């Protein structure tokens, strides 16, 4: 079995995964053996005849199955960033195995009895804050996963969790398959009218890669978004919009309607096993927001502030469109197109004006430089660290004293083997074991515009913001300074995890930083002051619309997960009703957002999508401290690092926030920043 690299010691730089040695056939045997090892670890805890203590029970639980965690981190990250049919089949096979193993732990009465004994005696011992939190988290973890259920309830819980593990995988696989299945193949150059040269070149490169003549537009964001924004051909914009918005809603083999029903009903049944009215109530007990009522009040308050602005903005675009040739109502496939023209007319700015100044490599340098200025970090490429894909890059990260902090993988471009969007993840999380500070391996995965034969990768301004966002998550992982892995880095409440990512986006709105990062890819010229001014002036363009759009996603999520009775209705109709308060356009038959809403049906954001807006309140309020003291102020950065980034989930997030800010946040800074105050 030692010939399997996943089961051997990683004799690599920093013990990074030896991706060059790992073959697909290694995964099933590795999972099988690692699950066996993990069971043995747990059995040792149960069979220990000594009285339960923090060390022999709670800490032993924390370290049980280390090898299994290592293998799972590698495999499921690969399944997201570089998958194929074989990998997906393996995922479908191992997910129920992992769920069964997890249930064997959480539902083990003898093990829970030991955990409960330590929990009940926690006040009698002089535990430090991290130890106390770990005891409480471990006990609550057992309770929330069925330890107090009766025999029949426990068996039903096993069945539900096993089925959910399969269904969420299926949902994501269906969305990826639907995204990859469509392409708009253009052979008549006239149909490219309105598209910038760089987008045309990228479409030609996509066609060439697929061995086709002409140009290919796909549903990947770097292809889809610019086409919707610039293409003069309204019929093709509609075709592309429909293809994107009907994903997994077409009654074919990749349809997700029944999958959505099954997921929400199983989640509801699981929550009700624990005595909660809804899945949202079950989830939100361990969030800053605490209850569905508080989340809904939060969303409704922001909608009340945003909707009047959004309606005015949409009306302004429709008036502009009608004055420039559009007959009748503004449709969804028209909005981005006419908005871009209106924005250019109002602010004399387009993505094509800014992109030459945002060469990917220069933006990367600028973000590394920001991390150096704020936190003293330096980044050194290391070719001896093999990444999981030839397009990914690996860096060693060091602090101001030259101490190794983390490995950072960067993976920028879309491919059919990668799911859409952008995310941060870990191949290893930070923790301390036997006095050794084990440092993390962080990965940032994006879908940015590819370079062409003539130009390097040039980012839109929004892609620059996305890079900053994911890098903020990365800092949360890299700068972690916790003892226990389950509390380190981004292991925090879901409605707090977006604070480090969203606060970093703020530097993308600051002239000082934009002047540092914005260098013309051909001339090296610094981005001109007037262009920076236009970026900043246009920052709140359609901020009401953007706010309502985000709130609509949160409301859809909360509607699905606030159900108190099994759902037997029509997914499309339910979604229409849930999102009706946010609706700004005529309904379009056949389109459905929920069937491709991977965040909540394939990711970890169920009853948690509101967290993006929640964290916007936090980040706007927190960044106001930087604005007061200077956006590169060392003392403020040190405080944010020590009170937020290093602390992970070792304390309640509001306590961490108040330690940095000195007070709890209010909505005021966000509303002012977004221009949503009249």
3-state secondary structure of 383: coil
Rama region for 622: left / alpha / beta (φ>0; ψ in -120 to 50; rest): alpha
Cβ-contact 470, 424 below 8 angstroms: yes
* Contact call for residues 579 and 553 (beta carbons, < 8 A): no
- DSSP per position, 552-613: HHHHHHHHHHT--S---S-HHHHHHHHHGGG--S---TT--SGGG-HHHHTSS-TTTTTHHH
Contact (CB, 8 A) for 490 and 473? yes
Taking the C-alpha atoms of residue 164 and residue 354, their distance in angstroms, rounded to an integer, is 44
Neighbours of 109 (CB within 10 A): 9
Residue 677, exposed/middle/buried by CB under 10 A (0-12, 13-18, 19+)?
exposed
Enumerate residues 6+ apart whose C-beta is below 8 A from 638: none
Q: Which residues contact 363 (CB under 8 A, 6 or more apart)?
A: 459, 464, 467, 517
- Active-site option among 470, 505, 646, 674: 470
470 labelled catalytic: yes
Angle at the Cα of 272 (from 269 to 273), degrees rounded to 5? 85
Torsion of CA 566, 570, 571, 574, to 10 degrees: -80
Segment (H or E) for 398: strand 393-398
Q: What DSSP character marks residue 24?
A: G
Alpha carbon distance 50, 35 (integer Å): 25
Sign of CA dihedral 327, 329, 333, 336: positive
Question: Which residues are tagged catalytic?
Answer: 470
């Amino acid at each position: 079995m030692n010939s399997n690299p996943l089961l051997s010691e990683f004799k690599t730089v920093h013990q990074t995964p030896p991706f060059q040695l790992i073959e697909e056939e290694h995964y099933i045997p590795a999972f099988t053996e690692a699950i066996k090892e993990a069971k043995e670890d747990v059995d040792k805890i149960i069979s220990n005849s000594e009285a339960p203590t923090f060390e022999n029970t709670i800490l032993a639980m924390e370290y049980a199955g280390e090898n299994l965690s290592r293998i799972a981190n590698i495999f499921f990250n690969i399944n997201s960033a570089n998958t194929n049919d074989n990998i997906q089949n393996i995922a479908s096979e191992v997910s129920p195995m992992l769920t069964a193993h997890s249930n064997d732990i959480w539902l083990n009465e003898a093990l829970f009895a030991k955990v409960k004994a330590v929990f009940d005696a926690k006040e009698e011992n002089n535990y430090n804050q991290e130890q106390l939190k770990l005891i409480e988290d471990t006990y609550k973890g057992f309770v929330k996963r069925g330890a107090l259920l009766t025999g029949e309830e426990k068996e039903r819980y096993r069945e539900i969790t096993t089925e959910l593990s399969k269904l969420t995988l299926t949902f994501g696989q269906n969305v990826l398959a639907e995204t990859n299945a469509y392409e708009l193949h253009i052979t008549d150059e006239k149909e490219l009218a309105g598209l910038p040269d760089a987008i045309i070149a990228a479409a030609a490169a996509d066609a060439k890669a697929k061995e086709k003549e002409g140009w290919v537009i796909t549903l990947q964001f770097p292809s889809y978004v610019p086409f919707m924004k610039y293409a003069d051909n309204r019929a093709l914009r509609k075709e592309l919009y429909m293809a994107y918005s009907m994903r997994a809603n077409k009654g074919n083999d990749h349809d997700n309607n029944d999958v959505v029903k099954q997921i929400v009903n199983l989640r509801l049944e699981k929550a009700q096993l624990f005595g909660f009215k809804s899945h949202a109530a079950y989830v939100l007990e361990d969030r800053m927001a605490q209850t569905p009522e508080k989340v809904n009040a939060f969303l409704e308050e922001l909608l009340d502030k945003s909707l009047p602005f959004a309606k005015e903005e949409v009306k302004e675009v429709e008036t502009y469109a009608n004055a420039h040739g559009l007959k009748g109502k503004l449709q969804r496939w028209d909005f981005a197109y006419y908005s871009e023209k209106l924005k250019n007319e109002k602010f004399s700015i387009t993505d094509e004006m800014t992109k030459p100044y945002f060469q990917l490599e220069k933006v990367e340098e600028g973000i590394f430089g920001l991390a150096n200025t704020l936190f003293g970090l330096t980044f050194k490429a290391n070719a001896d660290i093999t990444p999981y894909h030839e397009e990914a890059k690996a860096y060693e990260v060091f602090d101001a004293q030259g101490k190794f902090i983390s490995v950072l993988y960067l993976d920028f471009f879309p491919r059919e083997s990668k799911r859409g969007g952008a995310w941060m993840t870990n191949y290893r999380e930070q923790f301390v074991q036997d006095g050794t500070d084990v440092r993390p391996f962080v990965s940032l995965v994006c879908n940015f515009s590819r370079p062409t034969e003539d130009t390097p990768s040039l980012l839109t301004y929004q892609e620059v913001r996305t890079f900053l966002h994911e890098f903020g998550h990365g800092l949360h992982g890299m700068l972690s300074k916790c003892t226990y892995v389950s509390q380190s880095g981004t292991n925090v409440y879901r409605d707090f995890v977006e604070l480090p990512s969203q606060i970093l986006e703020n530097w993308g709105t600051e002239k000082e930083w934009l002047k540092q990062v914005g260098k013309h890819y051909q001339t090296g010229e610094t981005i001109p002051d007037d262009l920076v001014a236009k970026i900043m002036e246009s920052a709140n363009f359609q901020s009401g619309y953007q706010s309502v759009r985000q709130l609509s996603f949160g409301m859809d999520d909360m509607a699905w997960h606030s159900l108190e009775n099994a759902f037997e209705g029509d997914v499309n109709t339910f979604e229409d009703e849930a999102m009706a308060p946010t609706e700004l356009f005529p309904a379009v038959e056949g389109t459905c957002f929920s069937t491709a809403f991977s965040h909540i049906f394939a990711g970890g954001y169920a009853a948690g999508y509101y967290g993006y807006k929640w964290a916007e309140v936090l980040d706007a309020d927190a960044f106001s401290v930087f604005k007061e003291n200077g956006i590169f102020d060392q003392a403020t950065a040190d405080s944010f690092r020590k009170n937020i980034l290093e602390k992970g989930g070792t304390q309640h997030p509001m306590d961490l926030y108040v330690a940095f800010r000195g007070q709890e946040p209010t909505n005021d800074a966000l509303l002012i920043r977004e221009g949503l105050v009249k």
